[in-house]
């Protein structure tokens, strides 16, 4: 699938800070997904978004499906050390099995 | 409920050797995917099975790569002969239906020397 533009590529965060990352595409998607990958593990699904404009929360995580269907963002509030890892966005077309992945945002906690 | 299971977790082999990676999808899932992850290319879909039948193998790099799914609970990805450029993390993922949420296994880190 096509590569999505995910930013930032990496970020250092202070414990307690809010974190934001986003993903954009040149074409529309019907589903946006956010995954987190810990070192040595596979990506784990955090949030799935199915409708343009949808805002969904999962604990301290909040994600939104952009109105244009070409973008999505993920917010992490009050970050904690276990939030470190690589966050991937993925877009999917309706009734399609293919996922288009972003390159990932690496989150590191600043000591 | 057990997630996707992959084995081995790590594999180190010499160039030219055959490598077989194994996957057990989540019970009841009828779609299975093999991905490869590298720093340069990110996550790439290699092959997709639906109801044990290969539907899309366009992502398989070359003839050295082959995948099978003999039954609903087992799949293999084989590389023969292996080359150093095959070094990567290989993930298996499964989903209930072809367009449903994909759940990834822990991956196999392959190093070919």
Residues in chain A with CB shorter than 8 Å from the CB of B33 are 97
- Residue A111: predicted pLDDT: 67
Nearest to A97 among B43, B48, B91 (CB): B48
Tokens describing residue A32: 């946006």
Q: What tens digit of pLDDT does each residue of B58-89 get?
A: 999 989 999 999 999 999 999 999 999 999 99
Tokens describing residue A78: 């009050």
Residues in chain B with CB shorter than 8 Å from the CB of A33 are 101
> φ and ψ at A56, to 5 degrees?
-130, 140
pLDDT at residue A56 greater than cutoff 70: yes
Residues in chain A with CB shorter than 8 Å from the CB of B50 are 97
pLDDT at residue A109 greater than cutoff 90: no
- Residue A2: predicted pLDDT: 55
* Placement of tokens 């639906």 in the chain: B50
For the segment A13-22, the average pLDDT, to the nearest whole number, is: 94
pLDDT at residue A52 greater than cutoff 60: yes
> φ and ψ at B62, to 5 degrees?
-165, 180
pLDDT at residue A80 greater than cutoff 70: yes
Mean pLDDT computed over every residue of chain A: 93
Q: Which residues of B touch A (CB under 8 A)?
A: 4, 31, 33, 42-43, 45, 48, 50, 55-56, 91, 93, 95, 98-99, 101-107, 109
CB B46, CB B55: distance < 8 Å: no
């Amino acid at each position: 699938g096509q590569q999505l533009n995910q930013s930032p590529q990496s970020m250092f965060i202070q414990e307690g800070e809010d974190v934001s990352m986003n993903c954009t595409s040149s074409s529309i998607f019907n589903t946006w997904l956010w995954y987190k990958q810990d070192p040595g593990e596979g990506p784990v699904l955090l949030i799935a978004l199915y409708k343009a404009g949808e805002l969904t929360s999962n604990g301290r995580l909040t994600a939104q499906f952009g109105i244009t269907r070409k973008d999505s963002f993920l917010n992490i509030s009050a970050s904690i050390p276990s939030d470190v890892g690589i966050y991937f966005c993925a877009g999917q077309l309706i009734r399609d099995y293919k996922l288009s992945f972003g390159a990932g945002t690496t989150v590191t906690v600043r000591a | 409920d057990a997630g996707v299971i992959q084995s081995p977790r790590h594999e180190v082999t010499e160039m030219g050797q055959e490598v077989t990676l194994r996957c057990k999808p989540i019970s009841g899932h009828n779609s299975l995917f093999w991905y490869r992850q590298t720093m340069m290319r990110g996550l790439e879909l290699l092959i997709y099975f639906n109801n044990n039948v290969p539907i899309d193998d366009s992502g398989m790099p070359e003839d050295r790569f082959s995948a099978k799914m003999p039954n609903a609970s087992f799949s293999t990805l084989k590389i023969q002969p292996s080359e150093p450029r095959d070094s990567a993390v290989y993930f298996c993922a499964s989903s209930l239906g072809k367009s449903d949420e994909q759940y990834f296994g822990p991956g196999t880190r392959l190093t070919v020397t």
